[in-house]
Structure 1
Amino acid sequence: MSCTSEWVRRAAVKAGGRALSHTPLPQQARLAEAARRAPGFYARLLRAHRAAGLLVGAGDGADRAWGFVNLSPVKDMEVVVLAESLSSRGLHTLLNAALWVLTRDLGGAAFNVGVHNIEVDGSWDPPAEGMDWASGTPIMARVVSRGKLSSRASDFGGLEVFGGASIGNTDPYIVMDLLSKRLGDRSIDISLL
């Protein structure tokens, strides 16, 4: 049993032993349906953000992950990371960099992190070639800044972030520039996508 599946089992027991819900949030359900209807959806999503100059990568091989500052954020300053597994070194590197940028570099004091598309055993079987994800759904981590504690606009929770929609007011290129600088030599060549 993997560490992740043990954690999931313990969390379920603490929640009263009930089975985990497989009902996604509406926004995630729409994304999953779009991906089901369009093979290669996630690869095209990454390529679109690469074309806009908003994509970074970290890690290598199965530990590689891709991160982008969302062109259509749910909330101001949203960073999305896609990886093959929860144990991906690239996922950890990008999440660390995103949290550092949003809190230390941009002055946010509050944030939400959501990780989606996790199988009960914490894994996913990637395709044999590259990271096209045509036959499955990658692990998706979303990091959203809630802003400064002194701002009334920061007063919302995770369900509002990951269940609704809004347009951010921070230039995504500022966030991307800081994210790229934070990754430094840990960043990988995005032409590998």
Structure 2
Amino acid sequence: MFDTPVLSLDGIVDSLPAAEKARFERIYALTATVGELRVPETMQPWVEQQFGSLDAVTRQKIVRVTNKLTGEETLFSKLRASRPQDTGTVDVELAYSDATDFFSRPYDSTPEDVFGRVVGKHCVTASNVAKFDSFHGLLVFNDFNPLDFTRAQIIDYIDVAREWALKAHQTQPEAKYFALIWNCLWRAGASIGHGHAHVMLTGGRHYARIERLRRAAVSYRQDNGGNYFDDLFRCHQAVGCALKRDGVGIMAYLTPFKDKEVIIMADELSQSFKEKVYEVLACFRDKLGVASFNLGLVTPPLAPTEESWQDFPVMVRVVDRGNPHHRASDVGGMEVYAASVVSSDPIEITGELAKWLPEEVDNG
């Protein structure tokens, strides 16, 4: 049987102290099953070459984790990372994007918002020509290649996005719900190769998945008298999927949408938070080999609201979208209609993050 730490999650949870196990089970439901099959002799050489052994295939352990409050669910199947993949011609596509790069001339080739542009050291805003909300802008990066980011660039992108949101809010005070989305390269949904991110400010209520998360936190406090996000972090920490650096919580998420999803949380949009966003992205790129990702940043509303946002943190979620060379999408019918299927291991990812991010030094 193909083994990996997350496939032992059921045993890890069973061995937790009673209070920690009870907290985990308030948020998560967990089941483990084994799928069995027979491999015909004619297929055995290919199976051994592709998956390492017959035993890895004939008995496959699957761990299913469900967040009972948010409805998120993931099926962990390590073997699926070894499936055969077809590949494409990435270099040709990048060259074509570079030759038709409207974003290289943002002041001439992109519209601006009604309140003008926000200009940073490493990016400038534009108004999206094909909007999906009334305030929907772009951060156009100065550098073409979105993977050539530096610490200063990531911090600047976040700062410029925040300033854009405040200007949009001043223009229309009832718009107060902010989000930033970065689709890095076509594999993650980007239609233009030049580095850019989306910024949105909406009114009435936040976008549905964020609103669902807010409601889950409110319900958890009402039922259990505690902070959902604090307890979520403690659950991850208890099973080896979380660490804290400079007051910022970092979790390799137990119900990821797709592979290597990490959540970064803090009480405010601080310098330390922005630094940790860069460091996690650098680990993705330089250590974990991630070449395409989706990143989402959400903050509490910019102004008071009727509904409660108590406990809600500043949050970034970032998820690997797979090898840009692969033709097959990483998202299929299971993710669209049922639950996510993931081959990466959050316990192993946390181990890599812990080695990459320096430990806090106690000077006291």
Q: Cα–Cα, structure 1 residues 151 and 187, in superposed 2: closer, same or farther, change >3 Å?
A: farther
What is the CA distance between 1:31 and its match in structure 2?
Answer: 1.4
Q: Deviations over 1:79-117 (max 9, x none)?
A: 00110111241x223212221222221211111110113
Matched, 1:56 2:269: no
SS at match of 2:357: helix
RMSD (CA atoms): 3.3
What is the CA distance between 1:184 and its match in structure 2?
Answer: 2.2
- 2:215 is aligned to 33
Matched, 1:150 2:332: no
Higher relative contact order (CA 8 A, sep 6+): 1
Q: Is the 8 A contact 1:58 1:187 kept in 2?
A: no
User: CA separation in 1, counterparts of 2:317 and 2:311?
Assistant: 18
Matched, 1:78 2:269: no
Selected match of 1:175 from 342, 349, 356: 349
Q: Which one-letter code corresponds to 1:80 in the other structure?
A: I
Q: Cα–Cα, structure 1 residues 115 and 179, in superposed 2: closer, same or farther, change >3 Å?
A: same
Unpaired segments of 5 or more residues in structure 2?
1-158, 176-200, 222-226, 304-308
Unpaired segments of 5 or more residues in structure 1?
122-133, 189-193
User: CA separation in 2, counterparts of 1:146 and 1:18?
Assistant: 34
Q: Which one-letter code corresponds to 2:269 in the other structure?
A: L
User: CA separation in 2, counterparts of 1:84 and 1:149?
Assistant: 34
- 1:126 is aligned to none
Q: Cα–Cα, structure 1 residues 4 and 109, in superposed 2: closer, same or farther, change >3 Å?
A: closer
Which structure has the larger Rg over C-alpha atoms? 2
- Higher mean Cα deviation, 47-56 or 102-111? 102-111
What is the CA distance between 1:183 and its match in structure 2?
Answer: 0.6
Selected match of 2:230 from 43, 46, 52: 43
The alignment covers a number of residue pairs equal to 163
Bigger fraction of residues in strand: 2
- 1:9 is aligned to 166
Q: Which one-letter code corresponds to 1:179 in the other structure?
A: L
Q: Deviations over 1:138-174 (max 9, x none)?
A: 1111011112211235577xxxx9xx96232111122
TM-score when scaled to structure 1?
A: 0.71
User: Once the two structures are aligned, what percentage of the paired residues are identical?
Assistant: 29
Q: Cα–Cα, structure 1 residues 151 and 3, in superposed 2: closer, same or farther, change >3 Å?
A: closer
Q: Is the 8 A contact 2:258 2:319 kept in 1?
A: yes
User: CA separation in 2, counterparts of 1:167 and 1:107?
Assistant: 20
What is the CA distance between 1:10 and its match in structure 2?
Answer: 3.9
SS at match of 1:75: coil
User: CA separation in 2, counterparts of 1:11 and 1:103?
Assistant: 32
Q: Cα–Cα, structure 1 residues 58 and 108, in superposed 2: closer, same or farther, change >3 Å?
A: same
Q: Deviations over 1:37-81 (max 9, x none)?
A: 11211111011001111111111xxxx210100011011110001
What is the CA distance between 1:118 and its match in structure 2?
Answer: 3.4
Q: Which one-letter code corresponds to 1:37 in the other structure?
A: S
User: CA separation in 1, counterparts of 2:361 and 2:276?
Assistant: 9
Q: Is the 8 A contact 2:229 2:311 kept in 1?
A: no
